[in-house]
Structure 1
Amino acid sequence: MDKQAISDIIYNHILANKQSLIKQFSDSEKTIGYFYIDNVLPEELALECAKVFPKPEEMKMLKSIKEHKHVSAQMNKHDKLLEAVIYAFQNNKVVKLIGEICNISSLYPDDSLYAGGLSLMAKDNFLNPHLDNSHDAERERWRVLNLLYYVTPDWEQQNGGHLELWPNGPKKEAVELQSRFNRLIVMATHSKSWHSVNKVTVDGSRCCISNYYFSNIALRETDKFHVTKFRGRPNQTLTNLFLDCDSSLRMLVRKVFKKGVRKNPHIYNKPKK
């Protein structure tokens, strides 16, 4: 099945549930707007995504006090189906429909997959509370939506590896959104959209296909440029102090070097035709 056919399936399924998704997003918009929808693709196709998903050793491992996960944006190194699915979410009519649900008129997908692509979390992997970088790689457009499509079959709640939203900040309680098989979660990204992934507790891999959408306009008038900011969890006082210092230093660097000292390597370097 090609990218166009997959995007048609995604579009039709979201369109059929448009009104309930608008309500989901609207009800949560004052803090961190989000919606989720299940059974996004035919089960056989979603299962095939899981089957061909790269193994941890075929991906780049990110491991620090902030996070432990495996990522890849170099899609031509992986099965063609995964590339077709990820770009199906970038189809113009899919982007426009999601923009209508989230009430965002200026919305652009990211062909370079800057900080997007594939992610995998194995046992003991985690992602601490953080705010995503506010802009694209060229610091021209605002990052406004995060799309997470999960493809691991039979992934249960007790397995961990679930998305957490912190609507009242990372010192309060989180809302857990389960990384259920064949589920798409769309969340707003702005200066208050703290989110994380809790630790995977089983011998297995939680696999995710992710996209970011960008806009010419920030979601909130108070939004300002910021680098990715990490925090510890509410009981991690020393981690909080360290990560606050880390964020401050990186922001200082960006005041001097507007686009950073080096380009973020997490993009899709497409082979020349």
Structure 2
Amino acid sequence: MLMRSNIERSDFALDGKHFAAAYRQARPFPHIALKNFWDPEQIAEVSRQVKRFSFFDGEKDFYATQKKRYCGTYEKMPPAVRNLIDTCHSSGFVKFLEDMTGESDLVGDPQLAGGGIHSSTTSGFLKVHADFNWNEQLGLYRRLNLLVYLNSGWEAAWGGSLELWSRDMSRKEASIVPDLNTVAIFSTDESSYHGHPDPLSCPEGVTRDSIALYYYSPAKPTDAGRAKRGISEYRSRGISDLLSSVKFKLIDKFRGL
């Protein structure tokens, strides 16, 4: 377990090499879930500010993502969220990531393209996908995802765990519950399939909240056949996605009664 004394500090004293073996050997692709990562009082304040936040840039509403609000505008974000993002973009924190993952020359995205505050409401979902791998504005390849979960008292029955799927999409191999003060980090490549694809069953007024940050490198990845792709690539779970679609429609129908 990891603890931080102050998320506002610009340094990061943890030794990423301590977690390197666990990260790099994880399946279906390199990843790790670190619990109790930040100082509990300060991450609780981040969570409170996000729960009260209402200045979203928009809400995703298409076949692969429903009821997911987002804000990637740094200036609109509450102060505790900006402090957290600044820490995650600091040189000390980036070195921690490099030592753990084996990546080099990583940089955070100051524009937060696709990142920032994510907040999904009842019956929301994000289908399994591999992320875009090229940031045209930065001119860099995407290498890492970092998700900070902000959900106190989250119940397993509500769903919403981050699912990591095998590279051939034949099975779910790992899942991470989006509990408060859990940080999920994973490598982004052509087949790092992930999502929370089933409709959330949380009560009205309860949201699945996170801070999403992405890290980039100028080095061209060695993934076979990897091409620059500026959009996410969604994959089907077969019958599971059909059942999920039916569940989503039923939830929406009964919510309107």
Tell whether the 8 Å contact from 2:12 to 2:93 is kept in structure 1 after alignment: yes
Tell whether the 8 Å contact from 2:107 to 2:217 is kept in structure 1 after alignment: yes
Tell whether the 8 Å contact from 2:11 to 2:92 is kept in structure 1 after alignment: no
- The CA deviation at 1:236 is 5.9
Residue type at the aligned position of 1:201: S
1:175 aligns with 2:174: yes
Q: Counterparts of 1:105 and 1:22 in 2: how far apart (Å)?
A: 14
Q: Counterparts of 1:169 and 1:191 in 2: how far apart (Å)?
A: 11
Q: 1:217 aligns with which of 216, 219, 225?
A: 219
**Unpaired stretches in structure 1, ≥5 consecutive residues:** 240-273
The Cα RMSD (Å) is 2.5
The residue aligned with 2:23 is: 25
Q: Closer, same or farther in 2 for the Cα pair 1:18/1:38, shift >3 Å?
A: farther
The residue aligned with 1:245 is: none
Q: 1:36 aligns with which of 14, 23, 33?
A: 33
Q: TM-score, with normalisation over the residues of structure 1? A: 0.77
Residue type at the aligned position of 1:47: A
Q: Counterparts of 1:168 and 1:63 in 2: how far apart (Å)?
A: 26
Tell whether the 8 Å contact from 1:141 to 1:216 is kept in structure 2 after alignment: yes
How many residue pairs get matched? 232
Q: Counterparts of 1:34 and 1:127 in 2: how far apart (Å)?
A: 19
Residue type at the aligned position of 1:166: W
Q: Closer, same or farther in 2 for the Cα pair 1:9/1:182, shift >3 Å?
A: farther
- The CA deviation at 1:205 is 0.9
**Unpaired stretches in structure 2, ≥5 consecutive residues:** 1-5, 244-257
- The CA deviation at 1:95 is 0.5
Tell whether the 8 Å contact from 1:37 to 1:184 is kept in structure 2 after alignment: yes
1:1-273 equivalence runs, <5 A: 5-6=6-7, 8=9, 11-12=12-13, 14-15=14-15, 18-19=17-18, 21-28=19-26, 31-55=28-52, 58-59=55-56, 60-68=58-66, 69-138=68-137, 140-198=139-197, 199-203=199-203, 204-222=206-224, 223-226=226-229, 227-235=231-239
Q: Counterparts of 1:85 and 1:56 in 2: how far apart (Å)?
A: 16
Q: Closer, same or farther in 2 for the Cα pair 1:78/1:8, shift >3 Å?
A: closer
Secondary structure at the counterpart of residue 147 of structure 2: strand
Structure in which a larger fraction of residues adopt strand: 2
The residue aligned with 1:269 is: none
Secondary structure at the counterpart of residue 94 of structure 1: helix
- The CA deviation at 1:23 is 2.0
Q: Counterparts of 2:183 and 2:71 in 1: how far apart (Å)?
A: 19
Q: Counterparts of 2:100 and 2:142 in 1: how far apart (Å)?
A: 17
Structure in which a larger fraction of residues adopt helix: 1
Residue type at the aligned position of 2:150: V
Q: TM-score, with normalisation over the residues of structure 2? A: 0.82
- The CA deviation at 1:47 is 1.1
The residue aligned with 2:246 is: none
Residue type at the aligned position of 1:155: W
Tell whether the 8 Å contact from 1:109 to 1:214 is kept in structure 2 after alignment: yes
- The CA deviation at 1:157 is 2.4
Secondary structure at the counterpart of residue 124 of structure 1: strand
Tell whether the 8 Å contact from 2:11 to 2:91 is kept in structure 1 after alignment: no
